[in-house]
Amino acid sequence: MEVSIIQMDIVPDIVPGEPQKNYTHALELMGEAMKDHPDVMILPEMFNTAYAFNFIDRVGDREARTLKELFVPFIKDTSVNVIAGSISNFTNDGLYNTAIVFSRDGRVVCEYDKVHLFGLMDEDKYLMGGQSLGLFEVDGVPCGVIICYDLRFPELTRLLALKGAKALFIPAEWPQPRLEHWRILQRARAIENQLYVISCNRVGKKGDDVFFGHSMVTDPWGEILCELSDKEEIKTIEIDLKSVDEVRNKIPVFKDRRADVYTLWTKT
């Protein structure tokens, strides 16, 4: 599977109308990435508005309509799977941080709402927390998606792995100074769940927050196959999904789990 990471800056000081600039810029970068003929590409978290909560009632997408209107023609034309990062997304229930996954024919195959809200960036004051797993398939391969802060909660990735996920995609706006946490947690999730971890972190600034990029691809052994810079960058890399089964057969952690014991402990 060829994976393209679209590590991009986001217009930092949102005013009404500027999400269009972010959508346009994302599509331009996606067009560049198609030179490498990827099977799937991923964008960063909240790439349409960033954390523009002061303006969010005017700039957030409604039921992801703008995203779908702009992205579906591109996807149908290029026949590429897209993890459209995540967007600020209004529904009838409220505002969510939603990752939208498109198949090659432009169908939405997953809408995952971020479960764990990051209070340090006021997400819990403005957003609703998700209630479901981000499980989907890319060309028949079971995959999962989590968003940024979700990475700190190993239970979520383990549930995806138990349901068959062989690759985990992570759109993020992970800020300084926690670069080593970013690296270590991705390697940990890859090792303990024996799957590929593919992340896409934004770059640039918003107010006092600096986003360092360093998007990564980590294999099921926890080896970092590529790590991007702190600038806008497109990186395409091939991952060998057969290695997931090979690693899981070599060290059968899923077979050796003691779910019967864990259940007893959670009841006490």
Q: Which residues form the catalytic set?
A: 45, 114, 148
CA angle 42-161-33, nearest 5°?
15
Question: Cα–Cα distance between 204 and 211 in angstroms, integer?
Answer: 5
Question: Cα–Cα distance between 83 and 28 in angstroms, integer?
Answer: 16
Contacts (Cβ under 8 Å, ≥6 apart) of 33: 4, 6, 41, 234, 236
Half-sphere exposure of 156 (CA within 13 A, CB side): 25
Q: What is the dihedral of CA 91, 78, 145, 179, to 10 degrees?
A: -110
Contacts (Cβ under 8 Å, ≥6 apart) of 173: 44, 45, 46, 50, 51, 121, 148, 201, 202, 211
Amino acid found at 58? R
Cβ 48 vs Cβ 92: under 8 Å: no
